[in-house]
Each structure stands twice: as C-alpha cells, then as structure tokens.
Amino acid sequence: MAGINRAFLIGNLGADPETRSMPSGDMVTTFNIATSERWTNKMGEKEERTEWHRIVTFGKLAEICSDYLSKGKQVYIEGRIQTRQWDDRDGNRRYTTEIIAGQMVMLGKRDPGDVTRSSFSQFKGQFPPEPVIEDDDDDDIPPF
C-alpha cells in the first residue's frame, strides 16, 4: 500500500516571501508561516505555542506567491512534507524540513486597494521533480 504525505496548514507569513531562480530558469519562492495553538493549563492559565513552517513553491505558484503575499498575510497551504540534508562549510550534516506547496489560498481580510484578490484567491501548482541544489556559502539553509 502506498503512503500519504500531505500537510494542510493555515497560518500567517512571518516575513515577505523570497524568490530565486533555479539553474533551469524556474522560479522558487520560499516563506515561513506561523501556526499557533492555544489552551488553558491545569492551573487555569492560558498558554500558547507557535510552530514555524518553511514553505517552498515552484513555477507559476512561486510567481503568484511572490506577487501577492507579504508579511502578516493569512494563507492556507496544502503540500507534501520533505526533509533535506546537506553538509555545511564546516562539514557538519544539516537538515531542514519543508512543506513543498502544491496549493495556496489567500485568507483573511482583503486589502482595500487589492482589486485582484477576488479573482486570484486560490492557486494550484504542480509538484516539481526534486530540485538540483547548487553549493552555496550560506550555512543555514541552501537555496534552490
């Protein structure tokens, strides 16, 4: 039996998306969204935990995310979970877990000056093949 690898998230962007071009010329847009969970503990105190998720989009969906998303916007993301590994400059093995998005829906309040929002609120992309990652001097997370 085949497995299922799907993630469904609703959260807010922590910063503006970053867009790059891959060697093939295809666009890649990455951004982080925060999801929060709230509860009351046994002592009656309210608690909150926030998780940050790295989102990666490719092709037309990457272009749309770059053009229409910005810090603070609320989005619905549907995609697959992927963990990548690489060696940094010092030879240490590093890992990052990402959501490779195949669908994005803009949520939340509409900006008063945003006339395109009603016609472009939901975007679907296709999952690309595994990207070719070129070596970079960045020790944190390698770019696509």
Domain boundaries, the chain: 7-37+46-124
The reported pLDDT for the residue numbered 118 is 41
Architecture in CATH of 7-37+46-124: Beta Barrel (2.40)
> With 60 as the cut, is the pLDDT of residue 20 above it?
yes
The reported pLDDT for the residue numbered 1 is 80
Q: Are 29 and 16 in contact (CB under 8 A)?
A: no
Residue with tokens 């009603």: 118
> With 70 as the cut, is the pLDDT of residue 6 above it?
yes
**Cα angle at 75 between 73 and 47, to 5 degrees?**
80
Tell me the average pLDDT of the chain: 84
Amino acid letter at 118?
A: S
> With 80 as the cut, is the pLDDT of residue 51 above it?
yes
Q: How confident is the model at residue 141 (pLDDT cuts 50, 70, 90)?
A: low
Region 26-54: mean pLDDT is 95
Q: What is the pTM of this model?
A: 0.74
